Every structure is written in C-alpha cells, then in structure tokens.
Structure 1
Amino acid sequence: MADLIHIVYLSYSSKELSERELNDLLATIRRKNEIQNITGLLLYNDEAFIQVIEGDRENIHRVFDLISKDSRHTNVLKILEEPITKRAFPDWSMGFRKVTKEQNMQLPGFSDFMQNKHSEIDYEECAEAVRHLLYSFRKHI
C-alpha cells in the first residue's frame, strides 16, 4: 500500500479570478492530478483558497512545493499534514466549489478564518475544525 498523506493549506489568489480563469485552472489541475493519482477538494471564496490534497507522500510534497512557489498564490500556509489510511475524496481528481459568504454561514463548523488574513490562529487546535469543515462541506454538495 502507498504511503498516503493529505495536506490542507490556505492561500490567497494574487488577483481576483474570473469564472473562465477558475475553469481553466481546474482543468489543468485535474489533468495533472489524474496523472499523479492525486485527489482532493478545492474551495474558493473571495480570492481565498482552502484545499486538501491527498495521495502518495512524495507526490503530495512535490505538488505542495510547486504550489508554494506559484506566483498565482500569496500567503500559502500549510494548516495540516498527516498520514491517512484511505482517501476522503477517492473519486475526485479535484472537487471544486466556489462559495459565497452566505453559503459558508450555512456550513456546519463555519468560521471566518479564510477571510481574516491577519488573525492569530493556533493551527494545531484548528486542525480538527478544518477537517470537520471540509468533510461537512463534502457532505452538503
């Protein structure tokens, strides 16, 4: 069995993305992820991204390194990295949803942490909350 991990990270787009730019980005990501057997979920809201990527440790570290250096992202912050026994998003080369603030308020476990670039966050304490948010979101789409 592969050495599976997932990484959850937060980042901000260096500019506001149009629907077409988002769709082009997703098409590219999905092709690359399929080749590398990477799955996950990407949420986008007002230039903020939160993403979970899962797969083989080596592939995930390589992809996260590329993301961290990508000029289309700013303030890339790894929130969580841990081994997993199975994928949470096995059929999604990259699930995606653009969400509004109003939709976020309806998600169990919602917080404004994607919108507050300057708040102090204890990332170890919020890891469980992040997992809950992502999995709650997956259940409601």
Structure 2
Amino acid sequence: MLSLTYVSSATEEMSVLELDDLLRAARLTNERCDITGMLLYAGGTFIQTLEGPADAVDARFTMIDADERHHTVFVVRREEVARRQFRAWWMGYRRIPERDALRLPGLTDYLDTGRIDGEEPRRSAVETFHRAFREHLGG
C-alpha cells in the first residue's frame, strides 16, 4: 500500500463550484482505482494524500501533476504503509477559509519554510496535516 502526499499552488483561486466539480470527478476516479485519501484547500494551496495500490497511486499522481489548474507540485512524502489512514474516504475534503488555515498547527510554517517549528522531531508534517484534518476540521 502506497501513501503519497503533495503540496501545490492553484494557478488561480478556485470557486466553490470548481472545487465541487474537481472533487466529484476525483471521487469517481479514486473509487474505480481503489484509491482513498484527503484533500485540503486553503488560500490557493492544495495539500492532498492519495493511498492505495502503488501502481494506481503513481498513475493517478502522474495525471494530477500534469493538471494545469495548479503548479509547484512538491511531494512531501511517498512511503509504503501497512494500512490506510482514510480507508472510508474515496476523497475526504475540506475547503478552509484562509483565516482559518492560519490557525492550523504548522501550516503556515510549513508552506513558508518547509518545516514545522515546535513539532516533535518524530512527527512529520504529513502527520500534522492529517491530524489537523481530522481533529480541528471535523473530518
């Protein structure tokens, strides 16, 4: 089982309707490919985790990477995992207003510097975002 998390910047701020369309298409494709995961969107920044069979995740990420609706795609973590963190979600999603995103633990630190100040060394940025998604955002 592969888990891949990336961060990217939207080419243009996306409307709620555009995000809904993107999410609807992603869920259909992900279900067909046995991929689960989550997507955060805040202030023009995407943070997404895909998890599933390695060949399916890699193929899906290749398509996502080529999508012109975003740029500066950076893979934060790509690793084999024993189990899915988002096993019930073809694509969990939260659109976070920018003012709320600023309150997420470590989000702005990570986007500005690539690291999270004050985090325990054993905790990764990806785990922090996943925890924030579940706990602070009701996911």
Report how many aligned residue pairs link the two structures. 133
* TM-score, L = length of structure 1: 0.84
Structure 1 residues 1-141: aligned runs within 5 Å? 4-107=1-104, 109-113=105-109, 115-116=111-112, 119=113, 121=114, 128-140=124-136, 141=138
* Matched residue SS, 2:86: coil
- Cα distance in 2 for residues equivalent to 1:115 and 1:19: 23
Segments of 5+ residues of structure 1 without an aligned counterpart are: none
RMSD over equivalenced CA pairs, Å = 2.2
Cα gap change, 1:114 to 1:47, in 2 (>3 Å): farther
Amino acid in the other structure paired with 2:18 = E
Instruction: Report the identity percentage.
Output: 32
* TM-score, L = length of structure 2: 0.85
Amino acid in the other structure paired with 1:70 = D
8 Å contact kept, 1:9–1:80: yes
8 Å contact kept, 2:11–2:71: yes
Once the two structures are TM-superposed, the CA of residue 78 in structure 1 deviates from its matched residue by 0.4
Segments of 5+ residues of structure 2 without an aligned counterpart are: none
More deviation in 130-139 or 65-74? Answer: 130-139
Amino acid in the other structure paired with 1:128 = S
- Cα distance in 2 for residues equivalent to 1:36 and 1:127: 30
- Cα distance in 2 for residues equivalent to 1:42 and 1:22: 11
Once the two structures are TM-superposed, the CA of residue 106 in structure 1 deviates from its matched residue by 4.0
Once the two structures are TM-superposed, the CA of residue 55 in structure 1 deviates from its matched residue by 0.4
Q: Deviations over 1:34-90 (max 9, x none)?
A: 100100000001111000110000001111111111111100110100111110001
